[in-house]
Amino acid sequence: MGRTLWHGRFEGGPTEALQALNDSLPFDRRLYRQDIEGSRAHITMLASVGLVADAERDAILAALDQVEDDMEQGNFDFVASDEDIHTAVERRVTELAPAGAKLHTGRSRNDQVATDLRLWTKAELSDLASLVLNFQRTLLGQADRHGDAYLPGYTHLQQAMPVLLAHHLMAHGWALSRDIDRLLDAIRRADVSPLGAGALAGSSLPLDPDQTASALGFGGRFENSLDAVSDRDFVADGLYALAMLGIHLSRMGEEFILWASQEFGFVGLDDGFSTGSSMMPQKKNPDIAELARGKAGRLVGNLTGLLTTLKGLPLTYNKDLQEDKEPLFDSVDTIRLTLLALDGMVSTLTFHTDAMASGADSPFAVATDLADYLVVRGMPFRRAHAVVGELVRRALSGEASLPDLVSTHPDLGAEAVALFEPGRSARGRSTPGSGGAVPVAAQRERFVARLAADEARIGALTGSTSADLRN
């Protein structure tokens, strides 16, 4: 058993129960790159303000390189007293270089862990934003491949008005643009260095928090040391962005589940992205879409769990805050897996455009266009609605087909019957942002421009040091 960081003050060692509950190494070891990077910046700053000699700094930097190498290769030997990743790295550095005992000068694990987690969050969220962008391109690719296809649009899951498939797919694409916005916003909030705040109150040593902030690629440093070590807003922001993204993926998943059903028959799943049944030989199941739907539960759970942990915490650091990491790691891992699988599933979907069209070509789907036809000819909309509504009721009661009733109606007639031509209703819609052929082409241009702008915004982030720290 090695010595604890606080052994000077204590006569007895820690109990097994305390260690089992207290140790965060099992999950925070994935922060090792960020921890080492933070230590490099810190020791370099300590040397530049004269608190350690250049030779001591160099010995510590060499030891940090060695530790990083060993971690990368899986050759690092953790010992029982390594409570967390910060303890483990510092212990080993000090074994390799006695000057390592100076590494923690002016630093606490409280500012250290907040620094590590901010670096990690920035890098991971920017990587996820790129995956979202890829998925948007997949949706756009399917939209382009089915330029003319149309399907019923739904409200209340009842057929409402026909729309182009491209319009429907881009609807999901735009929701994902907002997710990218939220991820970038969460990154911006994480982009503040807490290093130099110490345990809570800063230091009387001549530290330079601006130097470490810029060495680590942060946009700036903390303004208040108490806030710096107790702020986990950036974790909550990230978890919210991921929960909302997960909810979008869940809603898409639900639609693809419906569309793949025999009842809809709008899409066919590729073998590589679907599963079979152990008992029923005929089955082909949309497990990826179901998991996209199901995983939203844990993403929301991770967010509410963290918010509940934060609620009521007094300033400043409390050990409760150690509970920030597992939900964040889990949400990041969950979204990455889900996005990759759903992207593969969507890019290999077969769209049964005939089935979509035959649903959309139901005469009743044209009802709104018939009312608009009357409006254009001067009839007040409320009256037009009632006129068409009555024709629909008579058609449903079996009196005659809707097109027949339209052709003999004095205000409608043969010209209005042309509205029943397959696809005409979907393609003909013309208002900006609507689902017809002309506005959808304009929308596509704007969507492509938005993807390019978001790609540039994400690319601009990867200029910072933290991009190299992703694990």
Known catalytic residues are 156, 277
Smallest gap from residue 202 Cβ to ligand ARG (A): 16
User: Which of 57, 109, 122, 248: binder of ligand ARG (CB under 6 A)?
Assistant: 109
Smallest gap from residue 173 Cβ to ligand ARG (A): 38
* Cβ(64)–Cβ(93) below 8 Å: yes
- Between 200 and 467, whose beta carbon lies closer to ligand ARG? 200
Q: State residue 240 phi and psi, 5-degree precision.
A: -65, -45
User: Which of 88, 93, 113, 128: binder of ligand ARG (CB under 6 A)?
Assistant: 113
Residue 64: what residue type?
Answer: L
Residue spans of alpha helices (H) in 146-261? 165-190, 209-215, 225-230, 233-260
* Rounded (5°) CA angle 23-28-31: 150
- Between 5 and 131, whose beta carbon lies closer to ligand ARG? 5
Smallest gap from residue 334 Cβ to ligand ARG (A): 21
The yes or no reply on residue 119 touching ligand ARG (CB under 6 A) is: no
Residues 297-326 that bind ligand ARG (CB under 6 A): 317, 321-322
The yes or no reply on residue 274 touching ligand ARG (CB under 6 A) is: no
CA distance 363 to 373: 15
Smallest gap from residue 108 Cβ to ligand ARG (A): 7
The yes or no reply on residue 110 touching ligand ARG (CB under 6 A) is: yes
- Between 59 and 113, whose beta carbon lies closer to ligand ARG? 113
What are the Cα distances from residue 179, in Å, to 133, 142, 310, 405? 10, 20, 24, 47
Taking residue 392's Cβ as centre, other Cβ atoms within 10 Å add up to 15
Where does this chain touch ligand ARG (CB under 6 A) — which range of 105-113, 250-258, 302-310, 348-356? 105-113
* Rounded (5°) CA angle 6-10-13: 90
Residues 69-88 that bind ligand ARG (CB under 6 A): 84
What are the Cα distances from residue 371, in Å, to 275, 386, 413, 435? 45, 9, 13, 18
Smallest gap from residue 67 Cβ to ligand ARG (A): 18
CA 19 from chain center: how many Å? 34
- Between 82 and 454, whose beta carbon lies closer to ligand ARG? 82
Structure tokens at 214: 């810029």
- Between 1 and 21, whose beta carbon lies closer to ligand ARG? 21
CB-side neighbour CA atoms (13 Å) of 65: 6
Label residue 277 left, alpha or beta by phi (over 0 means left) and psi (-120 to 50 means alpha).
beta
Determine how β-strand 350-351 pairs with β-strand 267-268.
antiparallel
Smallest gap from residue 114 Cβ to ligand ARG (A): 8
The yes or no reply on residue 31 touching ligand ARG (CB under 6 A) is: no
Rounding to the nearest 10 degrees, give the CA dihedral for residues 397, 402, 404, 408.
90
Smallest gap from residue 122 Cβ to ligand ARG (A): 18
- Between 93 and 113, whose beta carbon lies closer to ligand ARG? 113
- Between 106 and 153, whose beta carbon lies closer to ligand ARG? 106
The yes or no reply on residue 19 touching ligand ARG (CB under 6 A) is: no
**Binding residues with ligand ARG: total (CB under 6 A):** 9
The answer for residues whose C-beta is within 8 angstroms of residue 206's C-beta and 6 or more apart is: 49, 50, 51
Binding mask 131-170 for ligand ARG (x = CB under 6 A): ----------------------------------------
Q: Summarize as ranges the residues that interact with ligand ARG (CB under 6 A).
A: 24, 28, 84, 109-110, 113, 317, 321-322
